[in-house]
Chains A and B, each alone.
Chain A
Amino acid sequence: GEDVEQSLFLSVREGDSSVINCTYTDSSSTYLYWYKQEPGAGLQLLTYIFSNMDMKQDQRLTVLLNKKDKHLSLRIADTQTGDSAIYFCAETKIYNQGGKLIFGQGTELSVKP
């Protein structure tokens, strides 16, 4: 089935690390994505990871992938108040003609000064 799950809320203090977790179901997903949504805005692609990797680092962002457990995480180092937003993970469902993204419910990150 198509089911991506995330915890709904995370609260951290400014300067701490944030870790947002996600589990997905489709083992054939070759790419997994993290998107960020600020209030009243659309979704912004943050990063993605190819399924044959187990880690990807991009500045303050680190993505970890455990393909055996179908578990994905996003770590934000030195979290800032501007990081407060909703973070969505997404897996891909592939067709012959292309593919679509299936999203989790989103994790609302609250950063306290």
Chain B
Amino acid sequence: NAGVMQNPRHLVRRRGQEARLRCSPMKGHSHVYWYRQLPEEGLKFMVYLQKENIIDESGMPKERFSAEFPKEGPSILRIQQVVRGDSAAYFCASSPEVRGRNTEAFFGQGTRLTVV
């Protein structure tokens, strides 16, 4: 059972371009989370998705950022018109159906976005 797969591992974009970050959850996991880690900071929650549904997007910036988790295929975090402040490591995590309130989540290796 492969772990959570994120690609690309490193992404360089010029200001104003679009960044697309992909996350394939572990097999059998229906919950996906995206977190952002800025240099020298902790992990900030961005969005929580289940298949075809956004459960909680309270951590997503109101503009330029969007996320989806379609019925088929990976979850995508999309950042339009990137700015230097978007440079960060973006981590995806997945978990199975939540049983007994245990939300144990498994993390991918992250995508390190650099905006130049």
Kindly report which residue of chain B lies nearest to residue A94, judged by CB atoms.
Answer: B101
Number of interface residues of B (CB under 8 A): 30
Is A33 at the interface (CB under 8 A from chain B)? yes
Tell me whether B91 and A102 are in contact (CB under 8 A): no
Contact partner of B55 (CB less than 8 A), chosen from A30, A43, A95, is A95
Tell me whether B48 and A106 are in contact (CB under 8 A): no
Docked pose: A105 CA to B91 CA in angstroms = 15
Docked pose: A100 CA to B42 CA in angstroms = 16
Is A77 at the interface (CB under 8 A from chain B)? no
Could you say which residues of chain B place their CB within 8 Å of the CB of A41? 109-110
B94-116: contact bitstring with A at CB < 8 Å (1 yes, 0 no)?
01011011111111111000000
Is B50 at the interface (CB under 8 A from chain A)? yes
B15-58: contact bitstring with A at CB < 8 Å (1 yes, 0 no)?
00000000000000001010100000111110010100101100
Q: Count the A-B residue pairs with Cβ separation under 8 angstroms: how many?
A: 71
Tell me whether B103 and A98 are in contact (CB under 8 A): yes
Is A7 at the interface (CB under 8 A from chain B)? no
Tell me whether B101 and A30 are in contact (CB under 8 A): yes
Docked pose: A106 CA to B105 CA in angstroms = 17
CB interface residues, A 87-113, toward B, < 8 Å: 88, 92, 94-95, 97-106
Could you say which residues of chain A place their CB within 8 Å of the CB of B109? 41-42
Is A55 at the interface (CB under 8 A from chain B)? no
Tell me whether A106 and B42 are in contact (CB under 8 A): yes
Cβ distance B93 to chain A, nearest Cβ, rounded Å: 8
A101-B102 contact given A88-B43, A95-B55, CB 8 Å threshold: no
Is A53 at the interface (CB under 8 A from chain B)? no
Kindly report which residue of chain B lies nearest to residue A28, judged by CB atoms.
Answer: B101
Cβ distance B94 to chain A, nearest Cβ, rounded Å: 11
Additional pairs, 10, CB under 8 Å, beyond known A99-B101, A100-B103: A33-B104, A42-B109, A43-B91, A45-B104, A88-B42, A97-B50, A101-B45, A103-B35, A103-B43, A106-B42
